[in-house]
Amino acid sequence: MKSIKYIAGLLILLSVSCTKPLTDEQKSADSVLLKQIHEYTLNSDGSMDYRYYHQRQFNSYMSFHRLYGETFVVYNPKFQTLKVDKSETTMADGKKVQSPENAFNEVLPFQAANAPAYNHLREMVITHVGLEIGAVVELDYTLHSDTGFMPIFAEKLMLNESSPIKDLEVVVKVPKEESLNHFIVNQNPNIKFKKITKGDFNIYTWKANGLKARSNEPNQVEGYADYQTLVFSDVDLAESVSILKETLTKDISLDKSMESLLQSKSKGWELVEEIRSHVAKNMNSYWVSPRYVGYQFRNPNEVWASNGGTEAEKALLLASLLNKAGFDASIALGAYPHFMNPKVGCPMVFDKYLVKVDINGETKFVKAIDDRSEIPGARVLFSITDDISTLEIKPVEQPQLELNLKAKLELEKDGNIQCDGSVKCSNYNTNKGLLTDVPSAMLSKTSKPDEEGLRVIDFNYAKVKAQEIDDYMSYTFPRITQGVAMANLGELPTERVTRLELPGAIDESYEYVVKISKGFELVSPEYNEVLENEFGRVSITFVLADDGLKVNRHLVLKKGIVPVEAYPQFRELMGIWMDSNLNRVLVKKI
C-alpha cells in the first residue's frame, strides 16, 4: 500500500514539474527549482510591484533541515506592502498542506541589527510545512512599493541560484509609452527573449531552461563574473548617477565635536587619514542595503549624532568633513565593469560607496567603513561629480607580480632556525605581512632602496623551531605572503566548472642556502624537476654542496585568471609547486 502511495506521489510530482525530465544535476542536487518566476511591473502612477513565484522540490534532508525550509523576504513597511498569495506544500504522496497562520512571522532583519535608524525594517519569515524528501513547495508573493519610494525602476538579477533551475521566467512590464534598457551578462542561447505590447504595457520576457546552480568552488573570479545576470533600468547610466548625486548631496553644520576633529595639527594625507579613521573605526557601520530605504540617505548631522550609518551615509559624512577641512572630496561609487553599461542605469550595480580625495594632483579613493575588504579590487571607481560620458567601462587589469626571495638558513642543534634574507617584489602591501609561517613578533624587517622598480626588504629571524618527529627534523622554507600564497590554494580537484582567479600573473622565485649543523645528517635528496606548458613554467632543484643544501624554486603563471580549459595545465604546474616535500629540508639526528 505504501509503495502504491509513493508511486502516486511521484506521478503527481512529475505532473507538477511539467513534461521535461530532470537532468542529472537537478536529480542529485539537494533541491531543484522546478519553476521560478520574477515579475516586475512599473505602474502608470510610478508605483512598482514585484511578484515572486516558485515550485521547489526537496531532494535531501539537508535541503529542508538546513537550506530551504524557510523563505525570507525583507521589506520596508513605511513604503512597501507584502502580500503572500500562496504557500503550499505537496507532499510525496500527493497530500497538500497549507502553511498555517503561525508559519508567517515578522522579525527584524539581521542587516538592521544595532541600527536604530532602520529598526522599522521588517523581514517576513515564511516557514514551509510538510517537508520531506520528494515534497514540492509552491510559494507566491507580491511586494508593492509606493510611488516615490524607488527613484529608478531597475534591477540587477542573477539568474543562477544556489539550486539548479528547471524553468525560469523573468517578466518586466512598463507603460507602453516607456521603454526599458537591458542586457544580460554572459548571455547564452539557452536564454530566450521576447518583447510584446499588451494592453497598456510593453512586456519584456526572458525564459530559460536548465540553468545550472552557482558553484561553491573557491577562488572564483571576483564579482560573480561567470554567471548569467540580467540588468535592466528605465534610465541610462548617466541619469542614474545624476539621481544618486541628488540623494548624496547634503549640507553639514559643524558642531564643536566636529571642529575639534578638524583642528588637528596634521596636514595633507595625514589629516585625511585621521578624519577617515575616526569615521570608519569610531562610528558604527550599518549593513542595510540602500534598496531597502529607496536609495534615500540621512544627512551628515544625523549620522554624526547617531554615531553610525550605512556605508553610503558614512561616505557622505566623511566627504562633508573633508570638504570642511579644506580638501577637495566627493562621493565615489564602485561597481564591477561587467555589470555596467552606458545605456542601462541600475543603482543596484553600485556595491561600494567611497570618497574621492584630490590633493595637489594626487588622487586617492578612501573608505568610510572598516571592513578590511580590498578596494577597488576588480571594480571601476568614479566620482559622482565626474563626467560619466568619459568613463571607461572595461575590466580592471590584474597586476603582473614579480617576487624574489633569497635567504641563508641555518639549522642549529636545538632545532632553532636562524635566517637572513632579502625580498624583492613589484607590489607590496604593508598590511599583508612579508613571510608565511614566521610569527611577526620574531621577524625583523628593514626597507632598502628600490631596485629596478622592485620594493626591497631585508629580513631576519631566529629561534623559529623546526618540526621534530622522532629522530628527524623538518623545516618548511619561508615563502612570500603576497605571491601565489595569497590565493590560499588547497587541494586542487581534477576539474573545475568556473574560472580560477589568482592575485595576478606571477613570476615568483626563491633561492635558499641551508647550512646543516654538526650532529645532523641531510635526508633531503638531490632533485631536479622542470615542467613547462602553455599556462606557465615551474622548476625546482635541490643541489648538495660543501656549504650545505642549495634550493632553487621558480614559478611562472602567465595569467591571473585560469580559464576552465587551461585548468589542467595550471593544476599540473601547481601539483609540483605545492608538493610539501619539495618545499622543505629534512634532516636526521646522528
Q: Dump pLDDT digits (tens) for 178-208.
A: 999 999 999 999 999 999 999 999 999 999 9
Give the contacts of 3 (CB within 8 A, at least 6 positions apart): none
Which residue bears the cell 585625511? 272
pLDDT at 539: 98
C-alpha 574: how far from its chain's center? 24
Q: How far apart are the first and last CA of the chain?
A: 75
Task: Identify whether residues 14 and 139 lie together within a single domain.
Answer: yes
Give buried/exposed letters for 295-314 (b at 16+ CB in 10 A, else e): bebbbbbebbebebbbbbbb
pLDDT at 19: 55
Task: Identify whether residues 436 and 543 lie together within a single domain.
Answer: yes
Report yes or no on 395 lying in a domain.
Answer: no
Q: What is the domain-level CATH number for residue 585?
A: 2.60.120.1130
- Nearest CA among 506, 493, 503, 508 for reference residue 564: 493
pLDDT at 14: 46
**Confidence band (pLDDT; 50, 70, 90) for 15?**
very low
Q: Rounded to 5 degrees, what angle do the CA atoms 148, 153, 155 make? A: 130
> Residue 5 phi/psi, 5° resolution?
-60, -40
Task: Identify whether residues 58 and 207 lie together within a single domain.
Answer: yes
Residue 531 clears pLDDT 80, i.e. is over it: yes
Task: Identify whether residues 70 and 213 lie together within a single domain.
Answer: yes
Residue 18 clears pLDDT 50, i.e. is over it: no
Q: Can you count the helices (H) and strands (E) in the chain?
A: 9, 34
**Confidence band (pLDDT; 50, 70, 90) for 517?**
confident
Task: Identify whether residues 158 and 51 lie together within a single domain.
Answer: yes
Burial of residue 146, with CB atoms counted within 10 A of its CB: 0-12 exposed, 13-18 middle, 19 or more buried: middle
Report yes or no on 359 lying in a domain.
Answer: yes
pLDDT at 2: 44
Report yes or no on 508 lying in a domain.
Answer: yes
Task: Identify whether residues 323 and 450 lie together within a single domain.
Answer: no
- Nearest CA among 383, 425, 432 for reference residue 404: 425
Residue 16 clears pLDDT 80, i.e. is over it: no
- Nearest CA among 428, 488, 489 for reference residue 459: 428
Task: Identify whether residues 438 and 475 lie together within a single domain.
Answer: yes
Residue 17 clears pLDDT 70, i.e. is over it: no
What secondary structure does DSSP assign to 74-108, as a single string? EE-TTTEEEEEEEEEEE-TTS-EEEPPGGGEEEE-
Residue 11 clears pLDDT 70, i.e. is over it: no
Q: What is the domain-level CATH number for residue 26?
A: 2.60.40.3140
Name the strand (E) or helix (H) holding 313.
helix 311-324
pLDDT at 263: 87
- Nearest CA among 461, 411, 419, 412 for reference residue 440: 461
pLDDT at 518: 86
Q: Per DSSP, what are the bridge partners of residue 80?
A: 145
* Domain interval for residue 343: 241-390
**Confidence band (pLDDT; 50, 70, 90) for 20?**
confident
C-alpha 231: how far from its chain's center? 18
Whole-number mean pLDDT of the chain? 94
Tell me the pLDDT tens digit for each residue of 114-160.
Answer: 999 999 999 999 999 999 999 999 999 999 999 999 999 999 999 99
Q: Give the three cell numbers for residue 337.
A: 565593469
Tell me the pLDDT tens digit for each residue of 269-322.
Answer: 999 999 999 999 999 999 999 999 999 999 999 999 999 999 999 999 999 999
Sign of CA dihedral 247, 252, 257, 259: positive
Report yes or no on 274 lying in a domain.
Answer: yes
Residue 8 clears pLDDT 70, i.e. is over it: no
Report yes or no on 95 lying in a domain.
Answer: yes
**Confidence band (pLDDT; 50, 70, 90) for 6?**
very low
Q: Give the three cell numbers for residue 368.
A: 568610510
Q: Rounded to 5 degrees, what angle do the CA atoms 476, 534, 526 make? A: 35
Cα–Cα distance list, 70 to 124, 158, 184 (Å): 10, 20, 29
The radius of gyration of the chain from alpha carbons, rounded to an integer in Å, stands at: 29
Task: Identify whether residues 18 and 102 lie together within a single domain.
Answer: yes
Q: Which of 390, 414, 441 finishes a domain?
A: 390
Number of domains in the chain: 3
Report yes or no on 563 lying in a domain.
Answer: yes
Higher pLDDT, 9 or 237: 237
Task: Identify whether residues 201 and 249 lie together within a single domain.
Answer: no
Average pLDDT over residues 504-530: 94
Residue 209 clears pLDDT 70, i.e. is over it: yes
Task: Identify whether residues 536 and 422 lie together within a single domain.
Answer: yes
**Confidence band (pLDDT; 50, 70, 90) for 548?**
confident
Task: Identify whether residues 266 and 354 lie together within a single domain.
Answer: yes
Tell me the pLDDT tens digit for each residue of 398-410.
Answer: 999 999 999 999 9
Length of the chain: 590
DSSP state of 435: B
pLDDT at 367: 96
Q: Which of 215, 234, 253 finishes a domain?
A: 234
Q: Is the peptide bond before 100 cis (omega within 30 degrees of 0)?
A: no
Average pLDDT over residues 378-388: 95
pTM of the model as a whole: 0.91
CA distance 566 to 564: 5
pLDDT at 122: 98
pLDDT at 373: 80
Burial of residue 199, with CB atoms counted within 10 A of its CB: 0-12 exposed, 13-18 middle, 19 or more buried: exposed
Amino acid at 419: C
Task: Identify whether residues 350 and 480 lie together within a single domain.
Answer: no
